[in-house]
Amino acid sequence: MGNRINWSVSAVLAGSLLANCGGDDPPPAANDVSVQVVSSPADAVSGGTALVEVKLPIGVAVSALTVTVNGNQLANPFVAMPNGGPAALGVVSSFAAGSNTIVISSNDSTGQRHVGQVTLTNTAKTSGVLVAALQPLNCRTVELGLGPALDADCSAPVVYTYLYKSTDTSKNSLLAYDPASPPPDVAQTTTDVGVTVPFIVRNERGVIDRTVYDVAVLFDPSKPWTATAPQASWNHKLLWRFGGGCTPGHVQASNSAQAVDNSYNALGLGFAVATSGLSVLGNHCDTTLSAEAVLTVKSHIAVSYGKVRYTISDGSSGGSIQQHGVANNYPGLLDGIIMSGTSFPEVASLAADFGDCHLLLNYFNNISPGLWPDIAQKAAVLGKFDMSSCQVVDTNAFALGYAFWQVAFDPTAACTKPDNAQPPAYAGTLPPPGVYDAIANRAGIRCTYYESLVAIYGKRAGDGFANRTYDNVGTQYGLNALKAGTISLQQFIDLNQHVGGLDIDGAIAATRSVADAAALPAAYRSGQVIDGKGLANVPIIAYQSYNNQIFHDSFYNWSVRARLTAANGTAANQAIWTFQGSPGTFPIDAFKIMDQWLTAVEADTGTDTLPAKVLRAKPASAADACLIAGAKVTDAPTCAAQYPNYGDPRLASGMDLTDGNLKCQLKPVDPADYSGAAPADLAQLRAVFADGVCDYTRPGVGQQRVVPWSRWP
């Protein structure tokens, strides 16, 4: 199931091979050997190795196969798979950088020749497969337990460690295990396919994509394991862990989402559990890079451990951003996604929210405080429950050394971020040319969200800085509050006249911000704004901690739902579960139900589309729900009354719930929007909005569908 999406990776040789003339010539070749790369899309092989599946016609023996790569014959790596699996699997290596052709051939018992082939593209170094790597990078392999870096890509030898679960139930954590001196208290576990084995876990740690990865799985150290003969303790399922945050980084950072964390008892059930430093958005902020990490590490898992049936992922906050981006933009990498506690759609729209919060708080506090004594009026303009959500965004609320709005707009603040997970802390030392300074070091490294995506957004012609998508031209801040009578026309006009914008260094400017034109279509094509189309391929369970005061506003899951509906006509593949306080059994339920859901999809061998299969396989237990007084409630109106949603400044200015319009198209000021406005008021509004106001009935400037599997070298 890991390859349920059509990656266009298989090929049966077309046409026929010419046969020599003569009575003793062999019959012409039958081009009926199916050859498919199953470790990755065929045009995204990395590291020179791939797991390949072949399906053979009757009468062709696996042992008789001839295998060539680019015309050079290799030893036959293929092994017949038991239990009704594919005809054969084999790990094929010796790929050059660029295009390579594998040809598989054999004669059957009658002398008939059978041939198949596949052409693949290999990236020799496992970085830059989907997006150009951010430069420069400080290697930290020593601090991360791997020894000195071997090259500029921060490579290091792989390290294996073992852990086990004790029979002493008071010891909840996995303990260190020494294969040379096994402890006497190793517990047993029975996997979800009925195999009982010692609860011993091997954790593999190495470097792929210049970043430390971890793969943990039940593993008997006394037995061998290959991709074509894995140990029976593995159920061929994978749990991928995503970590939070969103901070540009030039440092080889550690994993905050640990693979050996036995959440859900995934390891005990037989799952492999994996993660990467690039699966922590707090290390880089680029979901395309997150997708590349999943791609390259899953490819390594396939060639080292075996074919993956399907992949479940989980993660909160920045982990939810990555899941939405990877599943929507690179379909097939993740098969079912769990938003585990808090959720955002993506960074680009969130950056607009954070930038608006910064501008509006500056206006309320420093420009016209006397005009806004009522907190409820200010909250209505922000689109929030109260002021606290924006205040958290605007201050160093978590002792990080910077405020969240600065991650997008301030080129220096986030350069001094600590390491997200493990000591020793990263103290802010950056490789040459050091940290940017507007006067003293304009060629220095700029640490903003936009700079971390410079390979996608491109560079500005004038100064070489990364293009930005942030734009508030025509935004009528507080329009909904004005129409509702919550604020006065005087407040509305003053606010929009003086709110201003953010310059390229994040300083507040008197004029509004204008997006760089090239960044807008790139943001949409690359999926920096997810469109929801690709998400139809995956079951989604979002269990949401209801909190509208620490910027993890609950409406974001519903914004994703609005995009799913707009793109696909339905959002039935998404379940939203809301709770406040203790989540009860929601986490465990989410994992079990997701596994059940994907098992049903896997068993559906019909010819319908994958989105149709996902909807058909949805368990009844995956319905929307909320916890009220500890009880699970599935009545939507009851849940909505208990857990009302709010929004952000753009929704409060008239944007719809999809919330993905980065730069609006404009229309003239419409007097109908301002009930009771006098001619002088309208004249003032036309002066404030000289270029027009946002027309949210039309797509945003440059708005278009995501291009799946786009590359940004």
The mean pLDDT of the chain is 91
Residue 14: pLDDT over 80: no
According to the model, what pLDDT value does residue 5 have? Answer: 64
According to the model, what pLDDT value does residue 418 have? Answer: 45
Give the three-class secondary structure for 479.
helix
What pLDDT digit, counting tens, does each position of 541-577 carry?
999 999 887 889 999 999 999 999 999 999 999 999 9
State the pLDDT confidence band at 11, using cuts at 50, 70 and 90.
very low
Q: Which CATH architecture does the domain made up of 159-341 adopt? A: 3-Layer(aba) Sandwich (3.40)
With tokens 């980065």, the residue in question is 662
Q: Which residues of 182-210 are buried (b: 16+ CB within 10 A; e: fewer)?
A: eeeebeebebbeeeebbbbbbbbbbbbbb
Computed on alpha carbons and rounded to an integer, the radius of gyration of the chain in Å comes to 28
- The beta-strand segments (E) located in 186-229 are 188-190, 196-198, 200-208, 211-218
Q: Among the ranges 14-23, 252-261, 397-406, 585-594, which has the highest mean pLDDT value? A: 585-594
What pLDDT digit, counting tens, does each position of 17-53 carry?
333 334 455 566 788 999 999 999 999 999 999 999 9
Residue 217: pLDDT over 70: yes
State the pLDDT confidence band at 421, using cuts at 50, 70 and 90.
very low
Q: CATH 3.40.50: which residues of the chain?
A: 159-341
According to the model, what pLDDT value does residue 260 have? Answer: 80
Token pair of 618, please?
A: 């949805």
How far apart (Å, rounded) are the C-alpha atoms in residues 179 and 257? 26
| Sequence-distant (≥ 6) Cβ neighbours of residue 694 within 8 angstroms | 474, 475, 476, 653, 654, 655, 661, 664, 665, 666, 667
Q: What's the CATH class of domain 10-123?
A: mainly beta
For residues 398-422, average pLDDT: 73
How far apart (Å, rounded) are the C-alpha atoms in residues 542 and 99? 40
β-bridge partners, 101: 119
Q: CATH 2.60.40.10: which residues of the chain?
A: 10-123
What pLDDT digit, counting tens, does each position of 476-507 carry?
999 999 999 999 999 999 999 999 999 999 99
For residues 281-296, average pLDDT: 94
Residue 264 and residue 301 in contact, taking contact as beta carbons nearer than 8 Å: no
Residue 76 and residue 67 in contact, taking contact as beta carbons nearer than 8 Å: yes
What pLDDT digit, counting tens, does each position of 636-674 carry?
999 999 999 999 999 999 999 999 999 999 999 999 999
With tokens 């006394």, the residue in question is 222
Share of the chain above pLDDT 90, in %: 81
